[in-house]
A = this chain, B = another copy of it.
Amino acid sequence: MKTSCASHLLEKVREKNPLVHNITNQVVTNFTANGLLALGASPVMANAKEEVAEMAQLADALVLNIGTLTRETVEAMILAGQAANEKGVPVLLDPVGVGATTFRANAAKQLLKKVKMTVVRGNAAEVAHLLGVNGWESKGVDAKAANGDVSALAKQASIALQTIVVITGKIDVVSDGDEVLSIHNGHEWLTKVTGTGCLLTSVIGAFCAAGEQPLHASAAALLFYGVAAERAALSAKDKGPGTFQIELLNALSHTTGDEVLTLGKIGGVSHDKG
């Protein structure tokens, strides 16, 4: 995976303008929709059991986010996920705050059991919780700084959950259980704006919809998003998180394939086939 592939895939996303169906939490609906529009994708939100299957089959990607879950939403997510699976539409899971309550933990387990996920994206604590591994701290829906080996965690989770796993943090990693790619872009201010992780999952969805295999699509989305965040931080100067949020939307719109090519930093942390 090279930054030139990411650059190329960004252009494909903008050309295709994929429809991303989000069943997401109440906090981030607006920001997610505006972020997808800014990037060049088409967002749609729908969470009624009566229509999610139909909507998911119209879409080019489906994103399931458990941030403000209710029992009804879990049912809707399963219906949508299974309909997407049937039609080969990629499905992404964002297990927001999965370790915080039994309800979220059970919902995530059920979703992973009943729906074939293409990508799972979370912070280290969330992914560790899905895997039943201890020692990764969290606080509500936010991960605390962790010192464990995220690459090993991503790889292990990918094998156990049979899906691409993305772990975001100071360094982002993505694994298909074999390769592990690490992305060294982004900015700490992403942690000061709510929903930047949720939006990233939807952006990965848009990249998966552009036809590339999901390992590379995820890495490309991480590179693009990280470079956009750096650009936004430059524009926002020291004005604060309000301005950074707005500049991130601007940057998602303006960041070009050339910038991703030049500024993207990707490495292969480990690669031991077979």
Residues of B within 8 A of A126 (CB): none
**Contact between B33 and A194 (Cβ–Cβ < 8 Å)?**
yes
**Residue A4 at the B interface, CB < 8 A?**
no
Q: Are B250 and A44 in contact (CB under 8 A)?
A: no
CA separation between A47 and B69, bound complex, in Å? 8
Contact A139 B42 (CB under 8 A): yes
B245 and A249 contacting across the interface, CB-CB below 8 Å: yes
A85 shortest CB reach to chain B, Å: 18
Query: Which applies to chain A's interface (DSSP): helix, strand, loop or mixed?
Result: mixed
Binding-face segment, A21-29, A145-153, A203-211: A21-29
- Asked if A156 CB lies within 8 Å of chain B CBs, one says no
Q: How many copies does the complex hold?
A: 3
Q: How far is B195's CA from A139's CA once the two chains are assembled, in angstroms? A: 25
CB distance from A203 to the nearest CB of B (A): 15
Q: Mark A114-152, 1 if CB is under 8 A from B, else 0.
A: 000000000000000000000000011110000000000
Instruction: Say yes or no for A159: interface residue by CB 8 A criterion.
Output: no
How many chain A residues sit at the interface, stated as a range, is: 35 or more
Which of chain B's residues has its CB closest to A235's CB? B239
In angstroms, how far is the closest chain B Cβ from the Cβ of A126? 14
Verify A42–B102 contact, CB threshold 8 A: no
Q: Mark A13-56, 1 if CB is under 8 A from B, else 0.
A: 00001010100011111110110011000111111101100110
Closest to A53 in B: B101
User: Residue A251 at the B interface, CB < 8 A?
Assistant: yes
CA–CA, A141 and B42, complex, Å:
8
Q: How far is the CB of A80 from chain B (nearest CB, A)?
A: 11
A240 near B38: Cβ-Cβ < 8 Å: yes
Q: Is A71 among interface residues, defined by CB-CB distance under 8 A?
A: yes
Rounded to whole angstroms, the CA-CA distance of A58 and B54 in the bound complex is: 37
Q: Does A113 contact B (CB under 8 A)?
A: no
